[in-house]
Chain A
Amino acid sequence: MLLTLVRASLQRHRLRTALAVIGVGVSAALLLDMVMLASGMRESFRSLLEARGFEIRLTPKGTLPFDTDASIDSAGALMAQLRADSDIVAMSPVLGGQVHVRAAAGSATAVAIGIDPAVQGDYEVRTGRDIAAPDQLVASAEFLRATGARLGDTLRVEGGYDAQMRTVTAERRLVLVGTAHFLYMPANPRAVAMPLATLRALTGARGDPVSLIMLRLRKGAIADSVQAWIAARVPPVTPISTAAALRQVDQRLSYFRQLAFILGSVSLAVGLLLVTTLVTVSVNERLGEIAVMRAIGVATGSIVAQVLAEGVVIMSAGSLLGLGLGLATAHYLNGILSSFPGLPAAIDFFLFQPRDAWVSLGLLAGCGVLAGAYPAWRGASMPIAVTLREEAVA
């Protein structure tokens, strides 16, 4: 009977109920988006850093990975020094550069990374195979589109292009053996990867420089301890553990999260006030009915339960609407924000996490109960005889 009464009450003013649900839906969508935004960047950054199991990154002193053109010189000697730490089980050196590639159907300038194919953690081969010889390279799908190159083609790759002199430092003929997804690059990059020595030769690098070294640790090793050991013994580099990087991200995003928290709270409060107002109006319209119900013996608890249920139904329906609306909005906004230049394509600003969604919906459901509490208490505590007399006079 409770459900019958709730349904009947909500159906009595269908337009009002629909508007309330839409209003709560908009608030819920905003709340969900703020919750997703508050943790989305951090979580997607964390999963990006942990994707290939490297826990520490070494960069030239005082820089962030690929933040500047600075490089770590004498990488071979430095890596030999690092092998003294038994916690380090793998090292992946990476050199960044730029090359110009000529294919049969066209040419293009591309971002190039030089890697050690055996331990690289920068890309995943999607078609074909990985690099197995110095004269091989893999490229992004966008690069293939730009140049018309196909797997198995031999490409003329030029490095160290001097725009004034119209000269290049070196040229190699490399075989395209695979297409790859580059993990840390923006969406649709025009990128190639080749052996480290090949890229060094193309760019005319002296010695054995690298832009970055990624370290994989043995299971159970404490990254912060290894980081401290490197900082003390290897002065030319700055070691950054994943945890330290996340701490820096947390610091930089703290204002962002506070903003999201405040906006989320505001949307929650707006939803609460909206439902409280509507349920209060609805109860005020039915004071006579409520008095009659009490006169014929309907318990106060039943009346309170009915009014609370009305609030919960509006909040729940609005929350479901808001869930869909929030996900759609987040998807749209994420598309815009993720195309920001220089950001890795894998970074999501809005990350849907079921736990956060449940927290949001739980908060809204709780607000639904709160929203109905005052009108329910008011409706159920009016003196019956006085209310009936006032209704009769009205």
Chain B
Amino acid sequence: MSDSAPVLSARDLRRDYPMGESPVHALRGVSLEVAAGDYVAIVGPSGCGKSTLLNLLGAIDRPTGGTVAIRGEPVERLSDRERTRFRLLHIGFVFQRFYLMPALTAGENVELPLAEAGMSRAERKARARELLTYVGLGARVTHRPTQLSGGEQQRVAIARALANRPALLLCDEPTGELDAHTGAEMIALFERLNADGTTLVVVTHDEDLAAAAKRVVHMRDGGVVSDTRVR
């Protein structure tokens, strides 16, 4: 464990989905603590609860039981409006399918959370260009998602996730839609992000991506079966 104060602290998280008379227990009391600057990979077979856990950690779903605190703020106590604002300012999301706004340019996609945070037009344009340059797409600011490759779209998604300097970057299968070469570039980008101070939690099936993390959490049947610091 890192000596830094935890950015994320989850205690006894449980998530049940109503499914007829017998609910599905997707998470069965998971506890997890992530320190600032850490890089955690969550791995496990399909259906073991990885994405469910990530949704709860990112405050886009509510747990059936347990607590999640980010930077000491218990997010389950926040109202929907407060949680939305909290996600905007403190959590970055990267999805397997990129989920960029197809009608917006790469720059406008990155500007979206900045505009929502109230940043001026000039400032957010400068910030979007800076972020796109950081992920290697400084020359593609005005391109639309359909004009970008899968790897480039995922880089735009990462730039968007970093827009408001979040405390935590949550990634759900970020290399799942990419070929091996592009996946390797993405792994290198995540390492650079972490080296530059970003706290990362990555859900993945990709062994190479998991191997790049500092810590690997194995899950099975809705629970954590091992939590190993590898570097």
User: B102 contacts A299, CB within 8 Å?
Assistant: no
A383 to B60, CA, bound (A): 8
User: B60 contacts A384, CB within 8 Å?
Assistant: yes
Q: Is B231 an interface residue (CB 8 A)?
A: no
Contacts of B117 in A (CB 8 A): 297
A388 to B64, CA, bound (A): 19
A113 to B137, CA, bound (A): 87
User: A12 contacts B113, CB within 8 Å?
Assistant: no
Contacts of B88 in A (CB 8 A): 296-299
Which of the segments B89-97, B181-189, B199-207, B217-225 contacts the partner chain?
A: B89-97
Contact of A392 among B97, B101, B113 (CB under 8 A): B97
A47 to B92, CA, bound (A): 68
Contacts of B93 in A (CB 8 A): 292, 295-296
User: B60 contacts A1, CB within 8 Å?
Assistant: no
Contacts of B113 in A (CB 8 A): 296-298
The B54-82 residues at the A interface (CB cut-off 8 A) are 55, 58, 60-61, 80-81
Q: Is B160 an interface residue (CB 8 A)?
A: yes
Contacts of A302 in B (CB 8 A): 116
User: B87 contacts A296, CB within 8 Å?
Assistant: yes
Number of A-B contacts (CB under 8 A): 81
Contacts of B102 in A (CB 8 A): 12, 289
Shortest C-beta distance, B88 to chain A (Å), equals 2
Q: Is A288 an interface residue (CB 8 A)?
A: yes
Residue of A nearest to B163 (CB): A296
Shortest C-beta distance, B81 to chain A (Å), equals 7
Contacts of A385 in B (CB 8 A): 52, 55, 60-61
Contact of B61 among A12, A300, A384 (CB under 8 A): A384
Interface class of chain A by DSSP = helix
A4 to B111, CA, bound (A): 11
Q: Is B32 an interface residue (CB 8 A)?
A: no
A298 to B87, CA, bound (A): 9
Q: Is A251 an interface residue (CB 8 A)?
A: no
User: A5 contacts B85, CB within 8 Å?
Assistant: no
Q: Is A129 an interface residue (CB 8 A)?
A: no
A385 to B55, CA, bound (A): 7
Residue of B nearest to A388 (CB): B95
Contact of A297 among B85, B96, B111 (CB under 8 A): B85
Residue of B nearest to A299 (CB): B84
Provided the pairs A1-B111, A1-B112, A392-B96 are in contact, do residues A295 and B103 lie with their beta carbons within 8 angstroms?
A: no
Contact of B81 among A1, A12, A293, A300 (CB under 8 A): A300
User: B161 contacts A296, CB within 8 Å?
Assistant: yes
A302 to B116, CA, bound (A): 8
Most chain-A CB neighbours within 10 Å: which of B52, B103, B108? B103
User: 1/0 per position for A380-394, CB-CB distance to B under 8 A?
Assistant: 000111001101100
User: A292 contacts B95, CB within 8 Å?
Assistant: yes
Q: Is B115 an interface residue (CB 8 A)?
A: yes
User: A297 contacts B55, CB within 8 Å?
Assistant: no
Shortest C-beta distance, B86 to chain A (Å), equals 8
User: B111 contacts A298, CB within 8 Å?
Assistant: no
User: B84 contacts A294, CB within 8 Å?
Assistant: yes
Contacts of B104 in A (CB 8 A): 4-5, 8
A8 to B146, CA, bound (A): 14
The B154-173 residues at the A interface (CB cut-off 8 A) are 160-161, 164
Q: Is B134 an interface residue (CB 8 A)?
A: no
User: A297 contacts B87, CB within 8 Å?
Assistant: yes
User: B112 contacts A296, CB within 8 Å?
Assistant: yes
User: 1/0 per position for A269-303, CB-CB distance to B under 8 A?
Assistant: 00000000000000000001100111111111010
Q: Is A9 an interface residue (CB 8 A)?
A: yes
Contacts of B108 in A (CB 8 A): 1, 4, 8
User: 1/0 per position for A1-25, CB-CB distance to B under 8 A?
Assistant: 1001100110110000000000000
A333 to B52, CA, bound (A): 65
A299 to B89, CA, bound (A): 12
Shortest C-beta distance, A1 to chain B (Å), equals 4
Shortest C-beta distance, A120 to chain B (Å), equals 68
Contacts of B101 in A (CB 8 A): 5, 8, 289, 293
Shortest C-beta distance, A355 to chain B (Å), equals 39
Most chain-A CB neighbours within 10 Å: which of B55, B89, B161, B164? B55
A293 to B100, CA, bound (A): 9
The A334-393 residues at the B interface (CB cut-off 8 A) are 383-385, 388-389, 391-392
User: A297 contacts B115, CB within 8 Å?
Assistant: no
Provided the pairs A292-B99, A384-B61 are in contact, do residues A300 and B84 lie with their beta carbons within 8 angstroms?
A: yes
Contacts of B58 in A (CB 8 A): 295
A131 to B92, CA, bound (A): 90
A29 to B81, CA, bound (A): 42
Residue of A nearest to B61 (CB): A385
A-B contact pairs, 26 of them (CB 8 A): A1-B112, A4-B104, A4-B108, A11-B103, A12-B103, A289-B102, A293-B101, A295-B60, A296-B87, A296-B160, A297-B85, A297-B88, A297-B89, A297-B113, A298-B88, A300-B80, A300-B81, A300-B84, A302-B116, A383-B61, A384-B55, A384-B61, A385-B52, A385-B61, A392-B96, A392-B97
B residues contacting A by CB (< 8 A) are 51-52, 55, 58, 60-61, 80-81, 84-89, 91-93, 95-97, 99, 101-104, 108, 111-113, 115-117, 160-161, 164
A residues contacting B by CB (< 8 A) are 1, 4-5, 8-9, 11-12, 288-289, 292-300, 302, 383-385, 388-389, 391-392
